[in-house]
Amino acid sequence: MSISYQFDLSHLDPNRTYTFHKRGRSYPIHRHTPATLAAAVGGSKRLQAAHHRITHYVKGVATSPSDGVVIQAVRTPVTVDGPKGPGTQTYNQLVTFAISIPGADDPLNDSEDLACALLFLHNNLANLSSQDDFTVPSYILDTCIRPNAGDLAQQLGELLLQGQSWISDPYAVMLSPTEHLLYPSPPSVDAFTKDPLLWREGNDPAIEKLLTARAAQPTDSGSQPGDWVYSQRMNIDALQPALSGSLGAALQAAKNAEQLEGVTWNTQDAVASTDYHATPSGALTPRAHATVADSTATDDDVTWTVTNLSPGSGLSVDASSLKVDMSKDVNPKYPAYAGQLTLDCTNHWLRHLSAYVQFLKYQGEGSSQTLVPIDLGASDTEVKVPDPSEPGHWIIENVNTKWPGDFCNVDDPIWSGMGFIEPDHTKKFLTWVSPTGTICGIPVPAAPTTLTIDYLPKEANVVRIMWGGLGRGPYDQDVCALGISFTAVFELALPMILLMYDAATVDSAALTESVWNHKGTMFNLAKTIVGVVMNTKLNAATMIQQDAEAIGKFLAESLLPDLLQTGCAYGVILLAQIAVGAVVESIPFLDIASLIFNGAITVAQLSQTIVEVVDSPFVFTTDIARTFALSLTMNPDETMHEFPPEAIGGTYQVSIAFSTNATPAVTTLQMPATTWNTPLHLDFSSLPAGGQIQVSVFMYSPTGWQAGQGQSDWVDAKGDGTGPNPSTRAVSVIVTNNAPPLDQFSVYQFTEKTILVDGSRQWLGTTSEPPATQPTATVATETDLTRLDGITISQSAGMLGYTYQTDASHFTVENVSLLQNPQSAYAAESGMVVKPALAYQRTGAYDGTGLNFYLDANPATNIGQEAHLRRLELVWTESGGSQPPNLNPDPSLSWGRFPFPMDRLAAFNDYVAGISFDANHSKIYVLKVPAAGQPNETAPKACMFAGPGTRIGLVSVPRAITFGMQGQIFVLEQGTCRVQAFDTSGNPLPCFDPTGSGTKQATMPLANATDQTVWLDVAVEPQGYLYVLSYEGLGRSPDDYHLDLYRPDGSFLARTDDFAAAAIAVDIIRDVYSLNYEQLQGSATPEPSVSLWVPPVKAYQGSILSITAPQLVLQETPQTILSVSTDDSTIIRLDGVTATLAQLKTGQTVTAFGAMGSSGVLFATQLFATS
């Protein structure tokens, strides 16, 4: 079978001779006559449209079913200089070329085909796979390249019209005789003799297979024995702009095509963090998370771990494969070294890497601690050793007399003389790492590369693997040279040679076996390559400057010709596999491809199009460090003595930052389902040692709001050397609780309530609110709760106190812990016949000296109807928690007296205030507490303020009283449906402005008030938000009860329905405790339950539209835009790391928490962004 092609050579001399070259054969090109042109065009629309440009044709080009993807080129013979003098040699100069894909050939070769062919030469686009009828190369050419080649095709056309050429005239790249390029098949005995490697490997079956297959291959080439080798260069200056745009678009299309996953692109999941085997104590278990493997401890009880787990520039390291056996390689001759380390890695990108090892040890302590490399000695020290073949004689060997693991010490001649690739005595060569997958569709090894390091220095703290190759940034010639050069050979040179010949006829399995997997071939190749590189042909300055011209010249003029010498096994094997002419003719294409690969696109376009190899760093590292264990203790808030109530049922996250480049430790665990104050413990068994660490703890509500946080100081990443486990470091972190933001969405959620289990009061986490309502029986019995009075809170001591009535003549005073175990502080006094009252300081001393009071109205110990304050000793200790108080204090010691029993009592600093429900006593009673208790008879009396009435300064049917954190007294009035503020002297205190008029007033009108509203209680949190509890009508149904929330200015904010309770207390972070009508089941006498309610924090999520500090705009939904305001107190994190507003960018997703203002602006307290 044969095929014909048409050409547009109208810009060239019509009288010259042109030949068509394809698959190692050449065909004469003919000039069209009108008759031949008409016959050629025929019914082809493509040819008809271009018939005025078609000038030449070729016919009879052989095809066969075994054809593969190949370059087809038009050449013209020119006279060049040769070894015999000027003008004595003929060179087939390249004119134009195209890519031929069987079944998809274009009958016309013009500037568009040339543009496509140039782009196809990029190694991220070139593909020779014949699978599924060449589906992949056809897709790349037709879908990724051709639609984006227009700019380049147009520029090529304009160059031709201007009389310019897209390619230079020929220039010599190799002046030495080229007989080595015309090997007989198989190579002669002389070739084996001249090549020590081939002589030693002469009977290798893999190489023999290639050599014997050479005879049937075409040998046509334009070179004669002794000829110089020539190349041509692309006119990059003229084509740069168009080439940049077209190539960038084609690469982007190929990198975004899902059909090409694993062909032109692949991904490796990043490992941002790992849990390092974090294990919590108790029943709390971690959620699923990335884990890390560490080596098993051996004789020296030392384990090791990979510190950076995220794939680096296409290289992934299998941390689970790490094995360190310190019992191996123990040699008395080398007491400072022992052990063997193995680790698997996989190179996913189309480039080779050279792997070196460096051992490091720590110097200094604390923040001044640094890693310094260990000098391993020279690799090529000459030593005299006995000649085993001739007793009494000595021979010279090049070995490393210091580090026994150096490859120069291995008993294998292949290593001889390789010390020159290790000019730095701290960096030792390990191996090369080939890519996995395919190169231009040619299979290469898919198995990971296993690194083996023998004889670890016992003083080493870190084993650093250094991976070097083609890239950008800081250049390390010691590490990069081999990786770059192997990439040039296998990923740049080889594809061009295969394109010139025909990959379909290449025995890829044999080529893989004899090159990639063949130690002798690769090391012989390494000798040749490094000899070129180290001779400054490719030096550090060239690489740092990314000098595309210098790199291209290096590949085309120096490296490839040297590789084809008889002394290089790669050249012999390649020539045995591929036609000699294809190798010679590929040199200009290698020159062109190197420019396209290295210099045709800008750095910005590299980022845009994701050309990984060129845009990756020259050197990246993997550190393997000794490990230590961390024992973390998380302690609750020092003021509240408990972890954030808002985090009940949520999660907590522990993260560990390393001053080294170790992968951060992050683990997320479930919070308990009820209040928790017992310290949480977490053990990390295998953290990378060295440098310093800092531990951070974050606790989150079920909606993701950060309810608390804590952080340790930076500490040394090593065992603290104390206690029973000296290799373990103990770190403690105190979690500080956050107050949730409040806005119109702050509808409180029921979280837990007290229950009785086997006589012990416990918290029960539940979402079912207590259904019981106020007692409706007209006759009190001993089995009913007749009346519930106030509830008070001591945040410092972690206690709740409350009073209630069980029948017409019996009252009870009760105290429980508000922490994890309510029973721990349980105390009760019952059987009282006169109503008592309790008033705890919300904050204050918790050593028993705080001003917390019980109002004793017992007529047996008091004078008349007076009620005396008895101080209660509320105690909390770090070891024992909340202690049960004595609720029957000394009746002879008074801290002040009221004229009669109070229905509600409140305390703040050294003031206690009370009210009575009696209509005859519509007054406020305020007592300044003395410095010490006194006898009843001399105790100070409370002052009376206000009086019955509706004007400002008077009170009408007071129902509740509380103190603000600034000493304000707030009174809830039934008769006027308002809250009125006073100072401790009874003066009205203007502090409200509910309408925003700018004029403050002392009263706050209550919202939602009707003539059926019964006001029950009022409470205030530290910032001034007020809580008002009420019910409607008779209060017989839970949905009659409401908790209303007001802003500090007195304006209404939010309502929580179904809040069936009689009294409330608010802690310092806005959690509400309620005294319920519900009775504890199992109690011998009626006893109310206590509930915890927390404000949920609404999450606002969207993408950032704009940022104008201190504000940003979020697109919540296609129809909703949200303005967000921040300030210095706003917590901002980006991808889990503390950040600033300036670090956020448009398009990022943000979850915002905060308070929604009346203007619709969210005042953010927390912003969590992901990039």
SS (H, E, C) 457-487: ECCCCEEEEEEECCCECCCCHHHHHHHHHHH
Better pLDDT: 713 or 548: 713
Q: What are the tens digits of pLDDT across the range 32-73?
A: 999 999 999 988 888 998 889 999 999 999 888 778 888 899
Q: Is the dihedral of CA 724, 728, 734, 740 positive or negative?
A: negative
State which of 302-311, 589-598, 913-922, 1108-1117 shows the largest mean pLDDT: 1108-1117
Highest mean pLDDT out of 142-146, 206-210, 423-427: 142-146
Of 1000 and 572, more confident: 1000
**Measured distance CA(227)–CA(91) in Å, rounded:** 10
For residue 419, being part of any structural domain is answered with no
Q: Are residues 830 and 905 in the same domain?
A: yes
Residue 1071 and residue 1105 in one domain: no
Measured between alpha carbons, how far is 794 from 791 in angstroms, rounded to an integer? 10
Residue 798 has pLDDT above 80, yes or no: yes
Q: What is the pLDDT of residue 586?
A: 66
- pLDDT score, position 196: 37
* pLDDT band at residue 187 under the 50/70/90 scheme: very low
**What pLDDT does 569 receive?**
45
95 token code pair? 């004119």
When mean pLDDT is compared across 143-157, 175-189, 317-331, 960-974, the lowest value belongs to 175-189
Of the pLDDT bands very low, low, confident and very high (cuts 50, 70, 90), residue 930 is: very high
pLDDT of 143 above 80: yes
**In a domain? residue 230:** no
Per-residue confidence (pLDDT) for residue 419, from 0 to 100? 61
Does residue 280 lie within any of the structural domains?
Answer: no
Residue 292 lies in a domain: no
**What mean pLDDT do residues 931-959 have?**
94
Residue 296 has pLDDT above 80, yes or no: no
Between 823 and 605, the higher pLDDT residue:
823
pLDDT value for 500: 62
Q: What is the mean pLDDT of residues 919-929?
A: 90
> Which value, to the nearest 10 degrees, does the dihedral of the CA atoms of residues 960, 965, 969, 974 take?
-30
Angstrom distance (rounded) from CA 1169 to CA 1136: 8
For residue 256, pLDDT over 90 is answered with no
The answer to whether residue 1034 sits within a structural domain is yes
Give the pLDDT of residue 186. 44
Residue with the bigger pLDDT between 438 and 335: it is: 335
What per-residue confidence (pLDDT) applies to 691?
Answer: 83
Selected residue with higher pLDDT from 1133 and 189:
1133
Give the Cα separation of 52 and 34 in Å (integer): 11
Q: What is the pLDDT of residue 23?
A: 81
* 1033 and 1050 share one domain: yes
Residue 1036 sits in a domain whose CATH number is 2.120.10.30
pLDDT band at residue 1006 under the 50/70/90 scheme: very high
C-alpha torsion sign, points 606, 612, 617, 623:
positive
How far apart (Å, rounded) are the C-alpha atoms in residues 1073 and 1066? Answer: 6
Confidence band of 125 (pLDDT split at 50, 70, 90): confident
What Rg value do the Cα atoms of the chain yield, rounded? 43
Reported confidence tier of residue 141, pLDDT bands at 50, 70, 90? very high
Q: State how far the Cα of 668 lies from the Cα of 866, in Å rounded to an integer.
A: 57
Q: Dihedral (C-alpha) 211, 212, 215, 219: value to the nearest 10 degrees? A: -10
Token pair 């098949």 is found at 185
724 is in which domain, residue-wise?
A: 627-737
Mean pLDDT value across residues 634-645: 94
How high is the pLDDT of residue 800? 97
Q: Are residues 1071 and 1126 in the same domain?
A: no
What CATH number is attached to the domain comprising 1141? 2.40.50.430
What pLDDT was estimated at residue 543?
45
Q: Is residue 315 part of a domain?
A: no
Residue of 596, 591, 607, 612 whose CA lies nearest to 244: 596
**Residues 400, 406: contact at Cβ < 8 Å?**
yes
* pLDDT tens-digit map of 767-787: 888 888 877 544 444 557 888
Task: From 866, 854, 949, select the one nearest 901 (Cα to Cα).
Answer: 866
Identify the bridge partners of residue 452 per DSSP, sorted by sequence position: 342
With cut-offs at 50, 70 and 90, classify the pLDDT of residue 761.
Answer: very high
Highest mean pLDDT among 343-357, 391-405, 847-861: 847-861
- 1025-1062 confidence digits (pLDDT tens): 999 999 999 999 999 999 999 999 999 999 999 999 99
Task: For residues 819 and 959, state if they share a domain.
Answer: yes
Residue 582 located in a structural domain: no
Contact of 169 with 264, CB cutoff 8 Å: no
Same domain, 1075 and 1163: no
pLDDT at 595 over 70: no
Task: Assess contact for 398 and 380: CB atoms under 8 A.
Answer: yes
- Cis peptide before 1110, with omega less than 30 degrees from 0? yes
Q: Is the pLDDT of residue 446 over 60?
A: no
Regarding whether 1132 and 1026 lie in a shared domain, the answer is no
More confident residue, 242 or 960: 960
Q: Which residue has the higher pLDDT, 266 or 82?
A: 82
Tell whether the torsion through CA atoms of 258, 259, 261 and 265 is positive or negative: negative
Q: Please state which of the ranges 123-137, 162-176, 611-625, 1075-1089 shows the lowest mean pLDDT.
A: 611-625
Q: Each residue of 1095-1150: pLDDT tens digit? A: 988 889 999 999 999 999 999 988 889 999 999 989 999 988 889 999 999 999 99
End-of-domain residue from the set 168, 185, 214: 168
Closest among 821, 798, 801 to 672, alpha carbons compared = 821
pLDDT at 436: 65
| Residue 365 domain flag | no
Domain count, the chain: 4
pLDDT of residue 610: 32
pLDDT, residue 106, reads 84
Per-residue model confidence (pLDDT) at position 152:
92
Q: Do residues 1030 and 1160 share a domain?
A: no
The mean pLDDT of 586-596, rounded to a whole number, is: 65
Return the CATH number at 641.
2.60.40
What is the average per-residue pLDDT within 574-594?
57
Q: Which of these three, 168, 192, 207, is where a domain ends?
A: 168
Q: What is the average per-residue pLDDT within 757-765?
A: 94
For the chain, how far is it from start to end, CA to CA, in angstroms? 57
pLDDT tens by residue, 964-975? 999 999 999 999
Q: What is the pLDDT of residue 865?
A: 86
Distance CA 832, CA 1099 (A): 49
Q: Tokens 């990639």 map to which residue? A: 516
Q: Can you read off the two tokens belonging to residue 474?
A: 């800081």
My answer on whether 954 and 862 are in the same domain is yes
* pLDDT of the residue at 77: 92
pLDDT tens, position by position, 378-425: 766 666 777 777 777 777 666 666 777 765 555 544 455 556 677 788
Among residues 1039, 1011, 1008, 1044, which one has the least CA distance to residue 1029?
1044
Mean pLDDT over 134-157 rounds to 91
- The answer to whether residues 76 and 114 belong to one domain is yes
- Euclidean distance between CA atoms 978 and 658, whole angstroms: 56
Q: What is residue 164's three-state secondary structure?
A: coil
183 pLDDT higher than 80: no
Q: Which residue is it, tokens 């971690």? A: 286
Instruction: With beta carbons less than 8 A apart as the criterion, state whether 345 and 433 touch.
Output: yes
Average pLDDT, the chain: 80
612 versus 844: which is more confidently predicted? Answer: 844
CA angle at 256 for the pair 250 and 259, rounded to the nearest 5°:
100
Q: Are residues 999 and 972 in the same domain?
A: yes
- What's the pLDDT at 1150? 94
Highest mean pLDDT among 177-186, 454-463, 909-918: 909-918
Asked if residue 591 has pLDDT above 70, the reply is: no
960 confidence band (pLDDT: 50, 70, 90): very high
pLDDT over 70 (residue 600): no
* pLDDT above 60: residue 205: no
The answer to whether residue 863 scores a pLDDT higher than 50 is: yes
- Give the per-residue pLDDT at 537: 43
pLDDT at 1047: 94
Number of CB atoms found within 10 A of residue 38's CB = 11
**d(C-alpha 1108, C-alpha 359), whole Å:** 48
CB atoms within 10 A of CB 243: 25
Q: What is the pLDDT of residue 238?
A: 86
Question: Both 881 and 769 in a single domain?
Answer: yes
Predicted local confidence at residue 162, as pLDDT: 84
Instruction: Among 684, 705, 737, give the residue marking a domain's end.
Output: 737
pLDDT at 525 (0 to 100): 58
